[in-house]
Amino acid sequence: MSRLRAVFIDRDGTINQERHYIYRIEDFELIPGAIEALRLLTHQQINIYIITNQSGIARGYFTEEQYLQLTEYMLDIFKKEGVRVEKVLYCPHHPEGEVPEYRQDCLCRKPNTKLLEDVISENDYTADEIALIGDKEIDIETGARLGITTYLVLTGYGKEYREVTTATFIQPDLLSAVKHLLGEVTK
């Protein structure tokens, strides 16, 4: 890998504890080591993009406004901890959603790659300058479609995919993945 410029990181189950359609601030809990991992990337001047499917919006479990409030809360925590996030990318759609304006089979829902492609294009990233970290095979498939290095973490749903993953690497958690990724970059 040449100089790492950006990392795309899944949110639920990778950065914060998986709580199944989380939208309430009181249910948001960071996975141990997540802040340290994000801080390491920030200190190395590696751009952080959080990418998350939020089908709970389309399903009517919570509103887009509630999602955005939780996102703002999360970003406030990160800012206080010295973490810089370039952008939070999210897909509110689902083809079987209950909310008509969000019921669609879109190009932004992982494993589709539109959200990442837009960021890659805007920043002139090449495949060897970026990586993706997530806890589901859908995350790994997203990265594979773009030809980038992928990490499956064993937090969230990760253990369910351990035996079937096509991830480049498997790590116990986000902190381990980031340390490995930074070690790979310096080799």
Residues annotated as catalytic are 10, 12
Closest CA to 139 of 105, 180, 167, 107: 167
Encode burial over 137-171: b for 16+ CB neighbours within 10 A, e otherwise.
bbbbbbbbebebbbbbbbbbbbeebeeebebbbbb
Going from the C-alpha of 186 to that of each of 27, 140, 163, the distances in angstroms are: 37, 23, 29
